[in-house]
Amino acid sequence: MDGASSPARTADVADWAAGVESTDIPPAVRGRALDLLLDTLGVGIAAGRTPAAAIAYDLACSQFAAGDATAHLPFDGRTVSPAGAAYAFATRIDNLDGHDGYQPAKGHAGVALVAGLLAVGESHGTSISGRNALTALIIGYEIACRSAVALHGSAGDYHSSGAWNALGVATLAARLRGFDSGRLAAALGIAEYHAPRAPMMREIDSPSMLHDSSGWGALAGVTGADLAARGFAASPAALPGIGDSWSSLGEEWLLLDQYVKPHPVCFWAQPAITAALQLRERHGVDPACIASVRIDTFDEATRLYAGVPENTQTAQYALAFPVAAALVHGRLGPAEVTSPGLEDPAVAALTGQVEVRSNESFSRRFPEQRLAAVSIRLTDGTECASGPTEPRGTPGQPMDRAAIEQKFTAYAEPMLGADRTRSLRDCVYGFDTGEGSLADLIALSVSPAHADND
């Protein structure tokens, strides 16, 4: 595909995406896809506590009502259109920043893909086996991540994930609906043209509920496939051949390069959180005895919010606050970045003692690496310092299946109860054994959270 024109490249990509079989995908890739699916579902479940989730769900009911195709809002039960369900659940996941991502893309694919899988699966693919659903998810990751590299390489701005994860969702939807390559190419062209290319640094500088615009990416992807199914004509998708993005399709699996977040905040903050937690454990640091904390990190991370956040969206795009919360509590999960954790006076006091500095060497290595170093000075004058630290969860130090299951349980069980949490986990891991189906997963995702705890 190297050097091909945009129409030829779109056709080649669509041919590949329409033709891949589950047997073409290595077992390690399928296994990791199961981990990512479980992890994203866990984040989506826990994100039900966020104000943005309620707003997006209510909007979907108001503006994206069900028509000839229907889907339930996951973990809620109300019925909307498939596009509305994908929009709402992706927005919900996006507003608890604990989902997977791809470092070269500086963004996230799974947040939109998992939302699209449930929405399109319920309306068009309830007879699909778990194995075939998993294949569609994997292909979606491959197209989304390559689109990200291509678009970032051809655009002068740092744009949001919705700009490119829309193409992955369109591909996933096309696979679930059994499109041939021509119709899949049309879905790509429609989704790419309508996808939101939002200025990401504006959201970093002024955190809000907008996050990565992945809700709109999911909406564009599902709608692109539906328009293509109805014969809507589209120009070829813009798929620049930047960085040889497309020639490795089917040979190099970018899904294996996704990071998994141990903490529900921006990944730019996580190397400092990892370093701080390691220092706390290694030196037995008593948080009450911390006089000051210094963080050296890459330049982009220094633009994360520096003060005590007033809401969860700001806490998730902060640096000093989550590091302080991790040092005070010895952990950083959903409870620490949502109310009442946001009002913890000890965390607020320590946040004011954190200094953040830009490190030129770390900045040069971004985005391939996200590095930070942390130094803690105690009230008795003792100082303990880390070296350059990468966050847990990267391909270099991945979270294994046991760690991902532990995270999923911690995120899901308070909302669903133990029995339903275990059933969801078992259903996901049954996808690649022939024991689970997409309909089984959807059935477990329909009824409201808290149903098992009432």
Mean local confidence (pLDDT), 211-236? 97
3-state secondary structure of 79: strand
CA distance 374 to 360: 15
β-pair type (354-358, 290-297): parallel
**To the nearest whole percent, how much of the chain has pLDDT over 90?**
87
Per-residue confidence at 8, pLDDT binned at 50, 70, 90?
confident
Task: Give the tens place of pLDDT for each residue, 13-60.
Answer: 999 999 999 999 999 999 999 999 999 999 999 999 999 999 999 999
Please report which confidence band the pLDDT of residue 402 belongs to, taking 50, 70 and 90 as the band edges: very high
Question: Is the pLDDT score of 273 beyond 70?
Answer: yes
Kindly report whether the peptide bond that precedes residue 334 is cis, defined as omega within 30 degrees of 0. Answer: no
Residue-wise pLDDT for 407-421, tens only, equals 999 999 999 999 999
Query: Using 50, 70 and 90 to split pLDDT, how confident is the model at 126?
Result: confident
3-class state of residue 357 by DSSP: strand
**Tens of pLDDT along 83-108?**
999 999 999 999 999 999 999 888 99
More confident residue, 438 or 158: 438
**Mean pLDDT for all residues in the chain:** 94
Residues pairing with 389 in the sheet: 372
Pair 33, 254: CB distance under 8 Å: no
The structure tokens 């041939």 sit at: 180
Helix 162-176 with 110-124: angle, nearest 10 deg: 30
Q: Measuring CA to CA, which residue among 164, 127, 171, 167 is closest to residue 149?
A: 164
Q: Is 236 exposed, middle or buried (0-12, 13-18, 19+ CB in 10 A)?
A: buried
Q: In b/e form, how buried is each residue of 21-54, taking b as 16+ CB within 10 angstroms?
A: eeeebeeebbebbbbbbbbbbbbbbbbbbbebbe
Task: Say what the pLDDT of residue 1 is.
Answer: 43
pLDDT of residue 454: 39
Residue 2 has pLDDT above 70, yes or no: no
- Residue 452: the pLDDT is 41
Q: Going by C-beta distance under 8 Å and a sequence separation of 6 or more, which residues neighbour residue 211?
A: 91, 94, 95, 97, 160, 203, 313
pLDDT of residue 5: 54
In the chain the domains, ranked by start, together with CATH numbers, are: 6-259 (1.10.4100.10), 267-385 (3.30.1330.120)
What confidence score (pLDDT) does residue 245 get? 78
Spell out the SS3 assignment of 152-198: HHHCCCCECCHHHHHHHHHHHHHHHCCCCHHHHHHHHHHHHHHCCCC
Residue 282: C-alpha distances to residues 67, 122, 293 (Å): 57, 48, 16
Would you state the pLDDT for residue 242?
60
**Euclidean distance between the first and final Cα of the chain, in Å?**
55
Which pLDDT score is estimated for 280?
97
Tell me the C-alpha distance between 252 and 257, whole Å.
Answer: 10
79 Cβ contact partners less than 8 Å away, ≥ 6 residues apart: 66, 70, 71, 72, 73
Model's pTM, two decimal places? Answer: 0.94
- pLDDT the model gives residue 453: 44
Report whether pLDDT(170) > 70.
yes
Going by the DSSP 8-state scheme, the letter that residue 245 receives in this structure is -
The neighbouring-strand residues paired with 296 are 357, 373
Rounded to whole angstroms, the Cα distance separating 44 from 31 reads 20
pLDDT tens readout for residues 337-395: 999 999 999 999 999 999 999 999 999 999 889 999 999 999 999 999 999 999 999 98
pLDDT at 158: 85
Average of per-residue pLDDT across 149-174: 91
Dist. CA 60–CA 77, nearest whole Å: 12
The pLDDT of residue 238 is: 87
Q: Is the pLDDT of residue 334 over 50?
A: yes
